[in-house]
Amino acid sequence: MTDLDIERIRDGLKGRTVGGNVVYFGTLDSTMDEARRLAEQGVTEGTVVIAEEQTRGRGRFDRRWISDPGQDLMLSVVLRPDGSQLPYVNMAAALSVCSTLSQVAGMDATIKWPNDVKICGSKVSGILVECTVNSRDIDYAVLGIGLNVNSNLEVTKGISSIATSMYNETSRTFNRTDVLIDLLRGLNQRYLNIRSGLSLVDEWASRLETLGKTIRVRWQDKMQDGVATGVDDQGNLLVRRPDGVMTTVVAGEVTLQH
């Protein structure tokens, strides 16, 4: 018996852009692929695809994303931002996850640039944004969110030092319907802010654990070390290299150096 009550979710999001249409599946290959299929068919902006289980969940750099069926949240949202608004979609999602963790569980989450949400140093959620462009602009973007809610990662994966769940951090189980409604409401509000030209950069900077730290950025086969000093108005990371030169990092994988 699932604790995902789709009617209550639909009701809780009624009339909003994000969540105005909610589609639910038992098992999918990936909610990203289903959302893409629906986007190609012209579904309304803000359509949310939720699955209890994914057989081919994926993360950034084509890594596998493993979630516990029936325990965690796996969802994708079809969005149609302008090209200039696209960089803020990832921010909106990561910030909404942080505020939900605070609202429903009293947890103080941080963001490891650009897309990991962490509690006490371990990853609890990952964000993935994929987009399709046409000759003039973004056709659509699919925003994927994986949030470890009730899975017990100490038992199931043995990777508790890098990954965690809300359950692992609190020894409490959470009703996923409540978590999802709060998350989608926050995401809707931030997405509307983006659409009306408001910036999320201050909130973004305030949650970034990366700032002030010595980091290593890996992008394709290049590596760069430095101190993350701030973010620009697109949320890109500003890094001071050891030779004092400032660079802007727009993509890549960051590891904190101790």
**Which residues are near ligand BTN by CB under 6 A?**
30-32, 54, 57-60, 63, 65, 74-76, 115-116, 126-128, 144-146
Minimum gap (Å) between residue 54 Cβ and ligand BTN: 6
Residue 106 CB neighbour total at 10 angstroms: 8
d(CA 182, CA 100): 6
Contact 141, 89 (CB under 8 A): yes
Counted residue by residue, the chain has a size of 258
Q: What is the secondary structure of 39-101 as a DSSP string?
A: HHTTPPTT-EEEEEEESS-B-GGG-B----TTTSEEEEEEE---GGGTHHHHHHHHHHHHHHH
Minimum gap (Å) between residue 234 Cβ and ligand BTN: 20
Q: What distances in angstroms separate CA 144 from CA 58, 71, 108, one per listed residue?
A: 9, 17, 22
Minimum gap (Å) between residue 5 Cβ and ligand BTN: 19
**Of 75 and 119, CB closest to ligand BTN:** 75
**Of 34 and 182, CB closest to ligand BTN:** 34
**Of 81 and 244, CB closest to ligand BTN:** 81
Minimum gap (Å) between residue 42 Cβ and ligand BTN: 21
Short-list 125, 116, 145, CA closest to 48: 145
Minimum gap (Å) between residue 136 Cβ and ligand BTN: 27
Q: Is 134 left (phi over 0), alpha (psi -120 to 50) or beta?
A: beta
Residue 136 CB neighbour total at 10 angstroms: 7
d(CA 112, CA 71): 24
**Of 157 and 240, CB closest to ligand BTN:** 157
Q: Which two tokens stand for residue 66?
A: 């493993």
**Of 31 and 100, CB closest to ligand BTN:** 31
**Of 115 and 236, CB closest to ligand BTN:** 115
Minimum gap (Å) between residue 22 Cβ and ligand BTN: 14
**Of 127 and 194, CB closest to ligand BTN:** 127
Minimum gap (Å) between residue 71 Cβ and ligand BTN: 13
